[in-house]
Structure 1
Amino acid sequence: MKNSAYGLEMPAKRTSCVVFSSPHSGRDYPSALMKRTVLNRNVIRSSEDAFVDQLFDAAAEFGAPFLKAAMPRAYLDLNRSAEELDPALIQGARRQGHNPRVASGLGVIPRVVANGRAIYRGKLTMDEARLRIDNYWRPYHARLKSLLAESHEEFGQAILVDCHSMPHEAVAISGNARGNKPDIVLGDRFGASASGVIVDQIEAAFASAGLNVARNAPFAGAYVTQTYGRPGRQQHAIQIEIDRSLYMDEETIEPNANFEEFREILRDVVAEIACIGAQPVRLAAE
């Protein structure tokens, strides 16, 4: 299923409470955006989670829905609040305290792409910003909420796995005491957005595939995990960041020679994660 705001792969039968999502892999760049931007097509894609929708496309085979953005992050960031409007970009937007994301140009309508490169020469109108939010942000989040509600109703819990990719340079300077750099970073907002038991199981799925896993550094999760992670209500949200160098050329934004092999590795990981949510939670009698 696809509309202008998102694509949705639904399983033939829902057998898992897990919902996979990819809010930053959209690549339907509107012609109006490309006419207004000062960037070329390659540079404007630098903040895109390129090919993440393909890496996790086996989700429906294992009984879990997969929700994917249609519009690119440079046009609208689904991992931001609809109220995170940047006064430096949007005419009439009011500054609402200090928000480091907005201040750096990464509000719901981004002002910059990777490495702080400006997308536009001038400002956008408030009407244009609201139109993007109403046409794309609200439908995506409405569908995400409904998918989680369906999981909760059928299985007694919902697990949101929010899929992203990170530049290799983001992890090149990090690592553990042994010097191992993470291939995968799991973000649960330091335990606030998901049960530790579930995060442990997701980490084990990646580790069993031979991948180095870290938690919450350098990415702990943003709007999606903060908003949908409610472990006290049996709703868990975990952000997954994958080192892009494992499967793509970051300069050309093309799959590299390891792409298909890595995609198969993730297929097994997706299958394991889907199994985490395959059994209904036994709720205590009221």
Structure 2
Amino acid sequence: MNSSFHVSEGHIGMLISMPHNGQKIPNDIAQNMTEKASTVPDTDWYMDKLYDFAKGMGISIISPTYSRYVIDLNRDISGENLYPGANSTELCPTTAFDLAPLYKAGKEPCKEEIARRIALYWQPYHQCIDELLEKMLTKHNKVVLLDAHSILSEVPRFFEGRLPDFNFGSANGASCSAALMEKVTSLDLSPYSSVVNGRFKGGYITRAYGKPNRNIHAIQLELSQHTYMKEPSNVFDEEKANNVKAKLKDFVSCLADFAQE
């Protein structure tokens, strides 16, 4: 097992990836970073708590040890911007969502350092996803990958105004079958708002692994942190979380049922 991520293997053809759930920063990287970076404010907080029911459903889960500030596991290593024209963060981010610098002056990662992080953190995580999905395909007729994320409900850098509560992405329909997305959109998510392929259409993981022609169906969910946290702090709100988890469970059950059809 690679120490840069954690895996829990289930028994059905479904995998949940939580690429922005990690919070640690290795000492050799942290020494070059700002005080703000050490608090990792742009973490997808509490993914493990929100989806704590998934293991009992037989679903596999993979999540990293380290923060997205070390390397963003949901970015293409080519450096391609997944949202052309948008002010997006890099593979190895140099600024926080609020544009504050993450590194001390002159200490930003160079090409060699980025290549080192790709080899040490990015490649193992993605190799494991690939191996898990291929292993599932040998046992099941089809496989579903959920890339689970969350974000502050208001981040001016990325979008105007307030984000809908449930933001589903399927690379504009390319990463999963229309039949699966139809099942998802028919769910009763009230009182929460939802959108499909809005501001978030799915990051690298959704786009790279979603291959419906091979019976691998990938969906990204970007959940507004307003639904389970006391924004703008990163404090978990138990009452809010319990309410939204009921809808999350319906969503995950929908995906799991599709995987087992």
TM-score range, shorter chain: 0.7 to 0.9
Q: Deviation at 1:252?
A: 2.8
Corresponding position of 1:26: 22
1:99/1:151 Cα in 2 relative to 1: closer, same or farther (>3 Å)? closer
TM-score of the superposition, structure 2-length normalised?
A: 0.86
- Structure 2 residue matching 1:198: 3-state secondary structure: helix
1:231/1:47 Cα in 2 relative to 1: closer, same or farther (>3 Å)? same
Q: Deviation at 1:210?
A: 4.7
Say if 1:8 and 1:67, in contact at 8 Å, map to a contact too: yes
1:252/1:182 Cα in 2 relative to 1: closer, same or farther (>3 Å)? closer
Please give the residue correspondences for 1:218-229 in structure 2 after superposition, counting only pairs within 5 Å: 218-229=199-210
Question: CA offsets per residue over residues 201-256 of structure 1, 9 Å max, x none?
Answer: 23344x25653221111111121111111122221111101010111134331212
User: Is residue 140 of structure 2 the alignment partner of residue 158 of structure 1?
Assistant: no
Corresponding position of 1:88: none
Q: Deviation at 1:108?
A: 1.4
User: Is residue 175 of structure 2 the alignment partner of residue 198 of structure 1?
Assistant: no
- Structure 1 residue matching 2:195: 3-state secondary structure: strand
What runs of 5+ residues in structure 1 fail to find an aligned partner?
85-95, 175-180, 280-286
Question: CA offsets per residue over residues 104-131 of structure 1, 9 Å max, x none?
Answer: 4622111111122211122323332222
CA RMSD of aligned residues (A): 2.6
Partner Cα distance (1:184, 1:99) in 2: 20
Say if 1:149 and 1:158, in contact at 8 Å, map to a contact too: no
Corresponding position of 1:10: 9
User: Is residue 169 of structure 2 the alignment partner of residue 187 of structure 1?
Assistant: yes
Partner Cα distance (2:9, 2:31) in 1: 35
**Which residue identity lines up with residue 241 of structure 1 in the other structure?**
E
Corresponding position of 1:89: none
Question: CA offsets per residue over residues 163-186 of structure 1, 9 Å max, x none?
Answer: 011221157736xxxxxx731010
Please give the residue correspondences for 1:57-96 in structure 2 after superposition, counting only pairs within 5 Å: 57-84=52-79
Q: Deviation at 1:102?
A: 10
State the number of aligned residues.
255
Partner Cα distance (1:52, 1:203) in 2: 22
**Which residue identity lines up with residue 8 of structure 1 in the other structure?**
V
- Structure 2 residue matching 1:108: 3-state secondary structure: coil
Corresponding position of 2:230: 249
User: Is residue 48 of structure 2 the alignment partner of residue 49 of structure 1?
Assistant: no
Q: Deviation at 1:62?
A: 0.6
Partner Cα distance (1:234, 1:262) in 2: 32
Higher Cα Rg, which structure: 1
Q: Deviation at 1:4?
A: 1.9
Say if 1:166 and 1:242, in contact at 8 Å, map to a contact too: yes
**Which residue identity lines up with residue 216 of structure 2 in the other structure?**
Q
What runs of 5+ residues in structure 2 fail to find an aligned partner?
none
Partner Cα distance (2:184, 2:49) in 1: 19
Say if 1:57 and 1:66, in contact at 8 Å, map to a contact too: no
1:236/1:269 Cα in 2 relative to 1: closer, same or farther (>3 Å)? closer
1:157/1:25 Cα in 2 relative to 1: closer, same or farther (>3 Å)? same
**Which residue identity lines up with residue 91 of structure 2 in the other structure?**
V
Corresponding position of 2:90: 107
Say if 2:82 and 2:204, in contact at 8 Å, map to a contact too: no
Corresponding position of 1:87: none
Partner Cα distance (1:215, 1:189) in 2: 10
Say if 1:182 and 1:213, in contact at 8 Å, map to a contact too: yes
- Structure 2 residue matching 1:150: 3-state secondary structure: helix
1:68/1:245 Cα in 2 relative to 1: closer, same or farther (>3 Å)? same
Question: CA offsets per residue over residues 132-174 of structure 1, 9 Å max, x none?
Answer: 1111101100010011112222112221110011221157736
Q: Deviation at 1:257?
A: 4.0
